[in-house]
Structure 1
Amino acid sequence: MDQKPSKALRVLIVDDEAPARKRLRDLLAEDAEIGTVAEAENGVAAVAAIESGHPDIVFLDVQMPEIDGFGVIEAIGADRMPLTIFVTAYDHYALKAFDTDAVDYLLKPFGNKRFEQAVARAKSRLRSAEARSLGPNVLELVARRETPGALWDWIVIKGSGVTKLVMASEVDWIEAAGVYVNLHFQGKECIYRSSLAAVTKRLDPLRFVRIHRSSVVNIKAIVQLEPISHGEFEVLLRDGARLILSRNYRAEVEKRLGQSL
């Protein structure tokens, strides 16, 4: 087994999903320059861990309950934050800013190579005179957060004198149903009175992807893809549904995954 160097890097992983934390921990275990790796499952624990452990690098999830990634930054103070690699499947507009302002970001789901690139960039910053230059950039980034409600966290469904709220993240897929759409979630389905194009514009573009002219899917709901012919795939979802990934939308799916199919 490789020995850790005497000045091993201290790392903190902040994510409310245990599988996501485990994946990062497993990848970090392969790096001989990484020493201690701590975890925090929410923003409150993250603030405490940063203040007490003084990590060199923080992998910070953007979307978490109660205090999200930006709330952690605000609590610590941007000028006091360790080098931060954002881990997100959420903020479309922030990603554009991260590309130039932050140390780096990892877009879920990410591949091993992309992870290695992010860590290498963080190490380079640590070794340079710019190692603490993240603060002002993050302040600018926080100021550019998208307007609440611009992308749906909840979908309001009205019908029969009752209004229901469905978390957008719980929707497995959406299909065109004439001039309306049919939402599929938790083994249920219901009509939503809006067009597929209009609904798609309000969904998180890093969580949902169009796979066919008549269907949009939640990436997390995909179990597997089976090649059919001529560049098309049959898409198996966690609710058992089988859809078609049209070759016209394949490039967009590959772009979201960061890998070829």
Structure 2
Amino acid sequence: MIKLRTLIVDDEPLALKLLRSKLSHIPEIEIVAQCSNGREAIAATIEFEPDLIFLDIQMPGIDGFGVIKKLQTEILPLVIFTTAFEKYALDAFDVHAVDYILKPIDDEHIQRAVSRAIQRFETGEKHDNKPHIIGAINEIDLIQHRSEALDDEVKTQATSIDNVERKIVIKDRDNITILKQSDIEWVDAAGDYVCIHTDAVTHIKRSTLKSLLKDLDPSIFKRVHRSTIVNLNYIQKVIPHTKGEFFLKLGEYDQVKVSRNYRDVIKSFLSES
């Protein structure tokens, strides 16, 4: 029988207790940790590398969406959101095939979500869900903060060849976003997409990591994992890990794993600093 090592996250103690109680009756679930905020959730995911996370969205500080954006695809578990969001947000989840349980939670919906998680785990979809989640998040943000004037301004910028140099162009339906490469902190790949992380937003671009790397400035962007690129300018700390691996701290919360195959890249960077 499959045992999904599970992390549960909610800032409300009663909600956390209720969720733990209901999951304790499901034999396929093994709870490895519980967290009461986004910061704890990021740290616990890195430490325990769970198979599944039940993640509250609306939390102070780093919310559930922020947790997803700051986790590397390689260590991001299967995600089931627990939420009291409005219907427009749930529609976005449905369109992008993102699993969720609407609060107040009940046994039937938990069991259904767990069954889907088991199916996805068995078919190896664990590391392919980030683009779907980010797609839903971005659609929700677009609905909440849509600005026609800003869209027009971005489209105007995109018509200038000069503005495209040393920048990355991201097309999302009718919208075109132009990112300065200097604003890109790190990038991770998920299937046929890449997640491009800046300070405020995570963007999704249809591209392979190898193809994107050709467009990035090679003097500051380095591959540190088969699925991850970092901007060397954002490295704040190097944290040793097991088996010759280590993590790079890129901001207050972002940590990226460096695999053994790419550790010489960071060693070279440190020796030149």
TM-score norm. by structure 1 comes to 0.51
Asked if 1:40 is matched to 2:35, the reply is yes
SS in 2 for 1:10: strand
Distance 1:44 1:11 in 2: 17
TM-aligned CA deviation for residue 28 of structure 1: 1.2
For residue 25 of structure 1, what is the aligned residue in structure 2? 20
Residues 37 and 62 in structure 2, CA contact (< 8 A), matched pair in contact too = yes
SS in 1 for 2:126: coil
1:118-133 aligned within 5 A: 118-133=113-128
Gaps of 5+ in 2: 146-273
Q: Provide closer, same or farther for how the CA distance between residues 102 and 149 of structure 1 changes in structure 2, counting only shifts above 3 A.
A: closer
Distance 1:128 1:149 in 2: 34
Asked if 1:60 is matched to 2:61, the reply is no
TM-aligned CA deviation for residue 91 of structure 1: 4.6
For residue 70 of structure 2, what is the aligned residue in structure 1? 75
For residue 8 of structure 1, what is the aligned residue in structure 2? 3
Q: Provide closer, same or farther for how the CA distance between residues 66 and 29 of structure 1 changes in structure 2, counting only shifts above 3 A.
A: same
TM-aligned CA deviation for residue 103 of structure 1: 4.2
Residues 78 and 139 in structure 1, CA contact (< 8 A), matched pair in contact too = no
For residue 218 of structure 2, what is the aligned residue in structure 1? none
Distance 2:100 2:73 in 1: 16
SS in 1 for 2:20: helix
Residues 59 and 86 in structure 1, CA contact (< 8 A), matched pair in contact too = yes
Q: Provide closer, same or farther for how the CA distance between residues 103 and 144 of structure 1 changes in structure 2, counting only shifts above 3 A.
A: closer
SS in 2 for 1:132: helix
Over the aligned positions, Cα root-mean-square deviation in angstroms equals 2.1
1:1-261 aligned within 5 A: 8-78=3-73, 80-146=75-141
**Cα displacement string for residues 50-87 of structure 1 (whole angstroms, at most 9, x for unaligned residues):** 11110110001110001001110111145642100000
SS in 2 for 1:49: helix
| Structure 2 counterpart of 1:114, one-letter code | H
SS in 1 for 2:62: coil
Residues 9 and 33 in structure 1, CA contact (< 8 A), matched pair in contact too = yes
Q: Provide closer, same or farther for how the CA distance between residues 79 and 101 of structure 1 changes in structure 2, counting only shifts above 3 A.
A: farther
TM-score norm. by structure 2 comes to 0.49
Residues 98 and 132 in structure 2, CA contact (< 8 A), matched pair in contact too = no
Gaps of 5+ in 1: 151-261
Determine what percentage of the aligned residue pairs are the same residue. 43
Distance 2:98 2:90 in 1: 12
Residues 79 and 134 in structure 1, CA contact (< 8 A), matched pair in contact too = no
For the pair shown, the structure with the greater C-alpha radius of gyration is 1
Residues 98 and 136 in structure 2, CA contact (< 8 A), matched pair in contact too = no
Residues 7 and 54 in structure 2, CA contact (< 8 A), matched pair in contact too = yes
TM-aligned CA deviation for residue 105 of structure 1: 0.4
